[in-house]
Structures are given as structure tokens and as C-alpha cells.
Chains A and B, each alone.
Chain A
């Protein structure tokens, strides 16, 4: 039958499968492009400080999580819409955000770093003078800082926004912007990888607090469990081990250590031993 053949030819590219079904499981939204807080390893695993904290608390508090990767400025809308239960993506606690979502107590303190080209001769003052092009990632506190503390106060820098942080850095190297404002830890990561080409001109002491976030009013009662989990991690020393493993180390070493240790958490269900393993392995691999 000629018609049928033509129809089959048309839909030759395939059919879709739909997925469903769940137990007590929370969806964690993250933008996995913010090493060392969250990124995707060479083997395609989503890893990072935030995500491991989420995994460890899930084990301690007896629930499951599914980590979903979403563009950073879509995470809060997704939490509000109920598509995502927890936002864990290096979110700075701000009054503005606190109006639409609920935050956990702070788990990290960060400042903003100002990156410039190594040969530009700019310092933190000259890099942010009127007329300079200053880059930041859309929806981040780096971008808010430039708006609130420079532009709103009459310092006429030109703010250029990027979807991702690496793209902002690329334009910095290309000379299309003069400086990039971003949290300190990822900035240090960038300097390590582009060694000699970019430097941190200075650090703005914003003293920002990172928090995990959930929908306003915490309808699923997740925050108390996160608080309890963080408390336990701190008491057992797992927290400090996690920090030692994730910050200031090459990502390759962290990834290899994660591969080696993760079963202790996911199969053995032992967050404390996992964090100890991770910290130790990273130290070994650095050498």
C-alpha cells in the first residue's frame, strides 16, 4: 500500500517514551556549570560540593533525590512552579529572593572576585571605572552587585550579561569586556585553568551567604531535614572533609576521588566515611 509506505517513511525517525512513577523523592535543581559547587565530570557525573551535601543529607534523612540540571536563572521559577523541590546551586541568600522562596540557614560565605586579563594592567579600581565593560552571569549576585553598587550609584560601567560563566571569560580573553565579576571559588578555578592569561584584580568583600532554597512556606517540610542533615555533617567532621576535598584542588583530582569513594555513600550509606575517603583520596591524587 503506497500511502502506508510513505507514512512509515515519514515517521521513520522514531517514537518517544514517556516516564513516570516515584516514591518519596525530591528533585534537586542545579546549574551544573559552577565548579567546584556543581559541574559535570569527564565521565558525565554531576558532582560538586552542593550536590554531595544534598546526597549526604538525603542518606542521613532517608529520602531519595534526583538531580536535575537547569539554567541558573530558571531554577527559582522552577521551584515556584513546583517542578523542582530544592534549589542547590550556590544561591546567595538575598532579600529579593527570600520574598519568593524560603532559604536554609547559610552554609557558605563567599565574596565576589574581579577578573581581568593578566596583561591589562587593571586593578580593582580601574577595572570598574565609568566606561568600562563589566561582565557577569545573568541572574547572579555578581550581576546584581554591579547594578546596585555601580550603575545605580552613577558609576556608568556597561554591564554585559552572559548565560554561562565560561562564556563571560571567553569574551574577557577576546578583549570585548574589561572585567568579569563572579564568586571567588569559581574565579579561582578559571585562573587556574587559564594560567597566565587572567588574574584576579581584587576581591569585593560582599560577605554573601549561600543557602539551599525551597518553595515559599516549605510545603513539603524539607528545610528542617536539610538543617538537621547539615548539623549532623558538621558534628561528625564530614562537613570539613568535604570542604577540604572540593576547594582549592584540580577538578581532575576531585573527579577521580569521587569515582573511588562514591559507593561508600550510595551503596554503604555512610556519609562520614565517604567524606573522609574523598578528602584523603584528593590529597593523595594531588601529589
Chain B
């Protein structure tokens, strides 16, 4: 590895950025899937009748147990056995999204349970139905409380998107390997450049989430300090 290699790798930046855009699309998809399912699972775990509570707990157990790479392979090869054809990208979004939903569910569950019981009682006393109490009193607070944990989940799943290359999604890791296969001495410099890109994206994402935490804070209601 000479200085010339480290300089030459920069000419591949557009190719890597194009790969990174696929990671970001994956991230958006999987966080979306994970968020919607995660909220539902968390609500079932906390407020659902026993049957649903068991279901939700099992769901969280299953998707927190299976390694991501295995989930990806199962999601890609599995449906094909039944004649269902899904693209590698869709399979990756689903596999990583389901996994993320289990973790997000735990984040939201923790936040929901952190809200004092008295609030529910007060809401009901004011004439709100159980659903209304969840909708207007509990969830808005729980979301605020879960932002810190959610930021952590963001940082974790962002990196998980690089696993999608195993099932044929051409994301940034795959692009880095293309560069190495075309130009062998650039293998390591390309990896280092990808690492730098992830540093930047993670910093930007956490910055946005941190700002969101500040902006959404309700004076007097933030976690005690």
C-alpha cells in the first residue's frame, strides 16, 4: 500500500456513494417496517390479553434469537420454495426489518412501562377510554422516552445493512469489494473509505435524533436529572 493507492481510491468515491445510497434505502425500509411492527408488538406485550401477550413475547424471542445473516438467507431462499419471488432488496428489508421490530418492541415496551401507573388512572378518571389513554397520554410520552434507545438501534441496524450483500444486494460493502477485485491493491483503502463513510452517516443520524430529543422534550416532564 503506497500513498498513491490511498489517493487513487478517492476516485472511486462516487461508486461507493452509490452503494451507500442503497444502504440508506435499506435502512429507511427496515426502520419503517421495524417501527410499525415494533409499536404493535410493544402495545400487545404491555396491554394485550394473555394470548396476544404470549404471542408478542414469542415474536420478540424468535427475532432476537436468530442471527441476522441467517434471517437474510431464510428470507431470500425460503419464499422461493413456495413459488414466491421477492427481490434481494425486499428480502433484506423484511429480514432486517422483522429483526429490528423485535428490538424496537423492547425499547417501546420499556418506555411504556416507565410511565407511572397514576397517569393511566388519571386519564381514565377524566373519562378517556383505555385506547384513548394509550393514544393521547401514554404513547406520546413513551416515544419521547424511547428516542435515546432508538438512536442506538439506528446505529446498530445501519451497520447491519452491509450484511445484505450476502444475498445479492449491491450495497456499499459489495461496491468496496468490486473495487478490490478490479484493482487488487485498493482492497484495504476501499474498506477504510467505507469505514469513514459510516462514521459520517452515523454521526449525522445521531445528530438528527439528538436534536429531535431536544425539540420534542416537554419542559418539566423530561427524565429527572
Contact = CB atoms under 8 A, between A and B. Distances in A.
Interface of A: 2-3, 5-7, 9-16, 18-19, 29, 32-35, 39-42, 44, 68-71, 74, 77-78, 81-83, 164-167, 169-170, 189-190, 193-194, 251
17 contacts: A6-B144, A6-B216, A9-B216, A10-B150, A11-B32, A13-B27, A19-B89, A34-B181, A39-B182, A41-B182, A44-B15, A44-B18, A83-B80, A166-B187, A170-B188, A251-B182, A251-B183
Interface in B168-225: 168, 170, 174-175, 177-178, 180-185, 187-188, 208, 212, 216
B143 A40 contact: no
Given A16-B25, A35-B182, A77-B77, A3 B135 contact: yes
Given A11-B32, A35-B181, A6 B140 contact: yes
Nearest to A174: B188
A3 B140 contact: yes
B43 to A, nearest CB: 13
Nearest to B146: A10
A168 to B, nearest CB: 10
Nearest to B212: A9
B167 A70 contact: yes
B120 interface: no
Contact of B28 (A13, A40, A69): A13
B103 interface: no
A32 B32 contact: no
A33 B181 contact: yes
B71 interface: no
B31 A165 contact: no
Nearest to A13: B28
B165 interface: yes
Contacts of B15: 42, 44
A87 to B, nearest CB: 13
Nearest to B93: A16
Contacts of A9: 212, 216
